[in-house]
Chains A and B, each alone.
Chain A
């Protein structure tokens, strides 16, 4: 049974989506959403959408309670960072709403004006999909095509001379009815794989890693929305590179120097072994503080990129986070070499606030 409340609930959710979209920038720069991600949904705390009233300021009003406690014993929290927005009397709370990752990506796309990705359009893998393209003479009433039915009835009435232009009432009979019908079509399905690479040398601190984490969360969300089938691999490197799982990727802290080429070599190897570039849309994301060990290695990086990686990938993104230790030279070097290369996107991320722009840089190309 469809409940009456469901319409109100649907409307409410629609309003919530509007709110989330409006505050998306705030959500993007904070990491809190990542922890709230389930399989298909993410829980977003939003200030309760309320109708404003002329009412007392709860902070000024206080109130009466019951129970133990000395004078000065705290009994409830104020509204802290949401000040002025959320309800803040004890007991009022933020509303958590579930938003599907797909919707979230959609919002991200709309908000950042991200173009849909023109993928390489592989035709070798296909999926079935129903498309409402046809018209048939029978079908369920819910799919009745009013206009066509009307036209059919009109035609018949004119032919049988029962149509009166002065009193143009059209009465469809059984045979006039037309219904929408669907055809099963085969659609090419697109595959993508992402390799995330991160510098975990001593100069990359927790804050830098947090930025990487947040940024890759959003990149992931977007790419997953664009591709049906996606695989992710993770590489960490200092002076040597190794492949790790996601958990390790975000939580490892090594010390030691930075040899970036080691990661690129490994990435190249992974691609060659498992992912044929003609079947896969390949994305590389590399985050570092840009303090590579010596010019010789930087030259090597450039050469690997130019000769091996770039021909295979859709996009190579390099995000340079700012660290108090690094020289940040690497991004300038890359910029010198790849200024005119469409597949290379470089972005400097000084702090969390810049994640928003950086995502736009990375994904704004629609590749």
Chain B
């Protein structure tokens, strides 16, 4: 439903304010809907036109329940698309609607300008509808269960993508010259050592030459056979290209892959994106929009957004505080060698070079950074201490997660780890013809944290469904290099060196 006239007026007003702060966004379409419709749209990941799947139904069930118990309420929902779509909840009061609009405009600005979103499809609304049409057509053709089962399988593997593949080229272009290929495949005659003719059969014995020839022949074959040539991180793409898939299967897998790539930047910039939106709604509301009678409601709602349950990390809070910290530091010139080297607490505290670079800096950061870089560069020991960040870990004895460290370095490392590859393990396709039997060999690049093994086994089962030959995953369990294998009937776990 379109906005009623009073909200449309407010929208125009907030839009002007946002523009006056140099925010730059796509055209934004607001729709106002009832809570259950909002829950529905949210369950579909923001796309009312999404393909049918029980996972969305599960999401909806949870959201509805949480809403009816009064535990949780979605205020805002905004879709990265051109034009941007944003949903407002009908029963919210006016000040909430204002806040949400201001928040939404900042999100749109982020979508439009942040580099990590540069390769997302801006017509995703239409694309999702197309995906749904394709999937429905296949459901009609192959039956609901078949398709659902395959979608489950694909979703299970959806994180096996290469986040950076839209930006860089990992593989060399395929050689087009057949001549070069031929030359490559020529069997090189083994090099003979210099010798007098009567010594030749001793210095270069025929058996040795034959042996050399055989080895080089074998190497050449191996090289030809090796697939992928270099380990492939975009396992989904690899499967689409190389697994024995029916056309409909390949198409569904492509759809899942495409949607995973579309959503990936949102995972990569959660802290920044929410921080940015919160930074701006706070600024627009307090500097421009609030009327006297709305202040209390606004403060209540705003603090609710920033509330952190003990032991959690609220991306809204962490993000906005980091942006504000950043602004202050660049306004006062608290950066660079001189500041970093200064260890006089008093001087640091009163450090103010009145550079006024804060605004410029925050805009620059919102353009170029993602969460990983953001934390890496701007999380300071002062910030970590002031905001009481800590690391928690699991305690076997008590079956509880406990606070384990407050040291800056540990906190930062942990935080960076949880953001690397948006918190997913790196898994690469190493060999598609393992043991020369067409078996698939994956390698988990272990960086200190084990996989959840029971779940990994289930995922392997799903991988087998796609590959249809035995599948292997090399990983490390409790510091022992282990090969997990699923051969279609049973799982095995073998130590390897």
Chain A residues engaging chain B, CB cutoff 8 angstroms = 3-5, 7-13, 15, 48-49, 51-80, 84, 90-91, 95-97
B425 touches A54 (CB 8 A): yes
A3 touches B36 (CB 8 A): yes
User: Per-residue CB proximity of B306-325 to A under 8 Å, as 1/0?
Assistant: 00111111100110000000
Are A8 and B449 CB-contacts (below 8 A) given A62-B401, A66-B314, A71-B403? no
Complex alpha-carbon distance, A62 and B402, angstroms: 9
Q: Indicate if B159 sits at the interface (CB-CB under 8 A).
A: yes
B53 touches A8 (CB 8 A): yes
Are A56 and B423 CB-contacts (below 8 A) given A64-B411, A65-B389? yes
Most buried by B among A13, A54, A63, A67: A54
Are A55 and B451 CB-contacts (below 8 A) given A5-B44, A62-B401, A66-B390? yes
Complex alpha-carbon distance, A66 and B387, angstroms: 7
Are A57 and B453 CB-contacts (below 8 A) given A3-B37, A5-B44, A71-B406? yes
Partner of A55, one of B40, B313, B318, B425: B425
Give the residues in chain B near A10, CB-CB below 8 Å.
57
B57 touches A68 (CB 8 A): no
B378-414 interface (Cβ within 8 A of A) = 387-395, 398-406, 411, 414
- Interface extent on B, as a size class? 35 or more
Are A56 and B312 CB-contacts (below 8 A) given A5-B44, A51-B55? no
Are A90 and B311 CB-contacts (below 8 A) given A7-B52, A58-B452, A75-B392? yes
B404 touches A62 (CB 8 A): yes
A284 CB to closest chain B CB, in angstroms?
40
Complex alpha-carbon distance, A4 and B152, angstroms: 20
A65 touches B156 (CB 8 A): no
A90 touches B406 (CB 8 A): no
B60 CB to closest chain A CB, in angstroms?
5
Give the residues in chain B near A9, CB-CB below 8 Å.
57, 60-61
B61 touches A78 (CB 8 A): no
User: Per-residue CB proximity of B37-56 to A under 8 Å, as 1/0?
Assistant: 10010011000100011111
* Smallest Cβ-Cβ distance to B65: which chain A residue: A96
Partner of B449, one of A60, A68, A74, A80: A60
Q: Indicate if B23 sits at the interface (CB-CB under 8 A).
A: no
Q: Indicate if B229 sits at the interface (CB-CB under 8 A).
A: no
Complex alpha-carbon distance, A57 and B449, angstroms: 7
A72 touches B402 (CB 8 A): yes
* Smallest Cβ-Cβ distance to A59: which chain B residue: B394
Most buried by B among A5, A12, A95: A5
Complex alpha-carbon distance, A329 and B441, angstroms: 64
Are A60 and B390 CB-contacts (below 8 A) given A65-B311, A74-B402? no
B311 touches A67 (CB 8 A): yes
A273 CB to closest chain B CB, in angstroms?
46
Give the residues in chain B near A97, CB-CB below 8 Å.
61
Complex alpha-carbon distance, A57 and B458, angstroms: 14
User: With contacts A70-B403, A74-B402, A78-B400 known, what are 12 further pairs, Cβ within 8 A?
Assistant: A4-B40, A8-B54, A55-B455, A55-B456, A56-B425, A57-B453, A58-B452, A64-B391, A66-B390, A67-B388, A77-B399, A77-B400
CB<8 Å pairs between A and B, sample of 16: A5-B43, A7-B52, A11-B52, A11-B57, A51-B155, A58-B394, A61-B417, A61-B449, A62-B404, A65-B312, A66-B312, A66-B388, A71-B405, A72-B404, A74-B398, A75-B400
